[in-house]
Amino acid sequence: MKIVLADLGVTIGGRTLVDDVSLSLTRGARTALVGASGAGKSLTCAALAGTLAPAASVTGSLTIEGTDGPDGPEGPGRNLLRIPAARRPRSARAALVQQDPATALHPLIRVGDQVAAAARAAGYGRREAPVRAQALLRRVGIDPALAERVPGRLSGGQRQRVAVALALAAEPVLLLADEPTTALDVVARAELLAVLDDVTASAPEDPRAAPAASGAVPAPAASGAVPAPAAPGAVPAPALLLVTHDLAAAALCDEIVVLHQGRVIERGPARRVITGPEHPVTRAMCSAAREETLAGALAAIEARADITDHSVREIIGPIAPAEVRA
């Protein structure tokens, strides 16, 4: 399945803020949308999610290719760009992980119950939904004991991982992560990126598949719930669009797309964009990112300080460059 955004344009108040942006996103693939603040990243993300403000004027198209048939009047092949998230078909479902998990989590409800409720909304039955929630929370590194807590009793990194589990409970074809690491410390940031890497590589088993395999009849869904589709085996991994200004985080992805003033100025495999940027803006971003790393800080110290006996690098040891996805 492929999600195709073609020639997106977003105009608000007479100003064109996104112009001619195109993306092709495949399930299990990871794309980073990179740029400085105000580049149009979040507006592009909102267009994909179906959450643009009503005041926004939108042009272009968003289509789903490779599905198994129509899913309502706005099924595969139809332009979904102007259709709000709540009216989009199941085959085009996108889930958004925002910078602040407080926007997604209810402050007074236990996080395990919130993920289970999202699984129920996705079509899981009364008995399967808690099982699905537990599997998702384990997948993002949340201990079962923590699932009994309300969001305020979790750390910022834990809340963000719960937000990922909540998004995955919707079984989206597209997982949108809009600056998810911005408010996290370096340890929580690394943990969250590892989670995003894992959940978009594969997916946990669907608890609805086990009864079917044994010949038993699955428990019926609660009244009013969407019927659960037959889905033996693992749930397919979603496509990931990581919206970030952090090139080190973007190295998680297969492809990097660079936005500047609402337009795509460069795109390509992550390794090529990071190690051999072509556009001057991308080169400046890569240079700034290198200076922000620990290796860059040590180089600056060595360049400015009068160190006579031993260099900083000799004292601390060599620092290997971070691996970049090929």
Same domain, 187 and 66: yes
- What is the average pLDDT score of the chain? 81
Does residue 63 lie in a domain region?
yes
The answer as to whether 159 is a domain residue is yes
- Position 214 in a domain: yes
Question: Is residue 52, in this structure, part of any structural domain at all?
Answer: yes
What is the model's pLDDT at position 64? 86
User: Are both 253 and 190 inside the same structural domain?
Assistant: yes
Which residues, listed in sequence order, are joined to residue 276 by a DSSP beta bridge? none
Backbone angles phi, psi at 198, to 5 degrees: -70, -50
Residues 124 and 185 in one domain: no
3 and 130 fall within a common domain: no
Q: How far is CA 51 from the centre of its chain?
A: 15
Q: Provide the pLDDT for residue 303.
A: 54
Task: Tell me what pLDDT residue 74 has.
Answer: 43
Cα 308 to Cα 243: distance, rounded to the nearest angstrom = 44
pLDDT for the residue 216: 37
The pLDDT value given to residue 269: 95
Look at residue 286 and tell me if it is in a domain: no
Total domain count, the chain: 3
| 2 and 49 in a common domain | yes
Question: Which residue ranges in the chain fall short of pLDDT 70?
Answer: 67-77, 202-235, 292-326
Whether residue 153 is found in the same domain as residue 16: no
- 85 and 178 share one domain: yes
Burial (CB < 10 A; 0-12, 13-18, 19+), residue 256, is: buried
Of 159, 163, 34, whose CA–CA distance to 96 is shortest? Answer: 163
Q: Which domain holds residue 325?
A: 293-326
By the 8 A CB rule, do 155 and 143 touch? no
**Whether 221 and 326 share a structural domain:** no
| CATH assignment of the domain containing 17 | 3.40.50.300
pLDDT of residue 217: 32
